[in-house]
Amino acid sequence: MAGGNVAQAGNETEVLCLGETMSLVAPAAPVPLEEAPAFTLSAGGAESNVAVHLASLGHRVRWASRLGDDPLGRRVVASIAAAGVDTGLVEMRSEAPTGVYFKDPGPDGTRVHYYRAGSAASTMDQDFLADEVIDDARVLHISGITPALSEGCDRLIRRLLTRPRRAPISFDVNHRPALWSARQAAPVLAELAQLADVVFVGLDEAATLWGVKTADDVRELLDSPVTVVVKDGAEAAYALGERRTVVPAPTVEVVEPVGAGDAFAAGFLSGVLRGEDDERCLRRGHLLAAHSLRSTEDHTAPPDAESLARWLALDEEQWGALRFDGSE
């Protein structure tokens, strides 16, 4: 996706992110949930994570969703608003609760426990947002989580992807096994991804869903989007559009991995909004993901502008030697 036709000066919304956000309970230290003596309570949701990361980078961002009109819902919307995201499109519902999820860090990775059935966000449907609100944004960012929440949410995502649109749609595949199996999700997520302009997907995720082995296999499967961004974990990330661009991932001492994909998407989209080429967009994605991997929080403060500029300017050899291990 060429960035030059997206960036625009003025007060218009640059990115509109839509999707469920829940209350997030996580151990204060990266230890298993059942052993943790203290916890943090924050907000976590793929699309609002992207919104918060983009706002922290200085972009004008709105987030749309539904929350329960309860203490957790009010806390969620307040925390996201405090991060600089416009939450004026969020609807509070008294008849349905705010979803909750727990992070459970362990030696083999982090498990996530969801308590979101019947949440306020699952009541969204195809009439949730007016066309003029959608068209006000320069980019619309959605994910494959939303259609798994309910039939109404599925209709909403399909409407967004099939209606005449003025701006590109960014779609993060984001398969959640706790919501639907790979067998159920695979054809639906492939169909929806084909309707988007820019698609984010992990190579391991794509292998589970569609049986592909390489980033090029993913691009062959998803041949309609302008750009397909494939993240190959700690190895590299690919931007596959008119050209094939590969940027290796910096070495990171991982504290906790959940949320890193959202940080990567925000970094890449930030580059797009700035009119940068795919290599620089991928670098921005890697840098935000690296900072996310170093924290138990879903969204952390971005690198300072000076460090970010310095890392983005590294030559290929210097980039290959870049490490984030607590000493940077």
Positions marked active-site? 262
Tokens at 124, concatenated: 């969204």
Tokens at 194, concatenated: 């084909």
- Cα 50 from Cα 322, distance rounded (Å): 24
Pairing of strands 109-115, 100-106: antiparallel
Q: For the CA atoms of 15, 20, 24, 30, what is the dihedral angle to 10 degrees? A: -60
Distances (CA, A) of 102 to 42, 109, 146, 154, 214: 11, 14, 19, 25, 32
- Cα 28 from Cα 40, distance rounded (Å): 6
Could you tell me where the beta strands, DSSP code E, fall in 80-215?
Answer: 91-93, 100-106, 109-115, 139-143, 169-172, 198-202
Beta bridge partners of 269: none
Q: What radius of gyration, in Å, describes the C-alpha atoms of the chain?
A: 18
Three-class SS state of 25: strand
- Cα 98 from Cα 311, distance rounded (Å): 39
Q: How far is CA 324 from the centre of its chain?
A: 21
Tokens at 228, concatenated: 């397909």
Residues in the chain: 328
